[in-house]
A and B are shown apart, each in its own frame.
Chain A
């Protein structure tokens, strides 16, 4: 699976958009980009995933560049409850059984 690179930490003001970048320059054509987050001392929470088109759901939007070498997770109106560690994971389909490799992620702090 392709390796991902994320900033260690980011800050965001409450009510503003939080844009979390992820680099995956070695991604291959059949690999998807997944985003999870983990609020302190809780289990990770699935947010969104995509292949090459931009995706949006009730939690967030995922913007994937045309060359697919990077992506951005957007939380449109961040709240204090969005403070968490955000993980960007690249996974191929049809490879080993559901194995998600979690890195260090980005610590997002939303402040009042």
Chain B
């Protein structure tokens, strides 16, 4: 499945580092999403972008900063993270959800470890 790609697949960073996660979708979709999946917890929605505009921020701490330069690319900039931020970060895309399209297509995720 190469519709949604994420890089890097694995990332280890210290609490004072700054890093970025990248997501790219090749499906012609208009909406993109960031999810967090911690160990033994359900997926948690973090951010939603529709037509490059942020439409949802699910009370995410400011140390996570999303960026969506166009409908095909989504970034998650990370700085001064905490060890509890270690998780699998998943990107997804869909057609316009306001038109009722909730079939989301996920990337493989970035496994983040904060030391």
- Which of A's residues lie within 8 Å of B, judged by CB? 32, 34, 41-46, 49, 91, 93-94, 96-105
- 15 A-B pairs besides A44-B43, A49-B102 with CB distance below 8 A are A34-B103, A41-B88, A41-B111, A43-B90, A43-B106, A43-B109, A45-B106, A91-B102, A94-B98, A96-B56, A97-B31, A97-B50, A98-B50, A98-B101, A105-B42
Residue ID in chain A nearest B45 by CB atoms: A99
Which positions 20-46 of chain B face chain A at CB distance < 8 Å? 31, 33, 42-43, 45
Partner of B105, one of A46, A100, A102: A46
Main secondary structure of the interface of B (DSSP, over half): strand
Residues of B within 8 Å of A41, CB to CB, are 88, 109, 111
6 sample A-B contacts, Cβ–Cβ < 8 Å, listed by A number: A43-B92, A43-B109, A46-B103, A97-B56, A98-B101, A98-B104
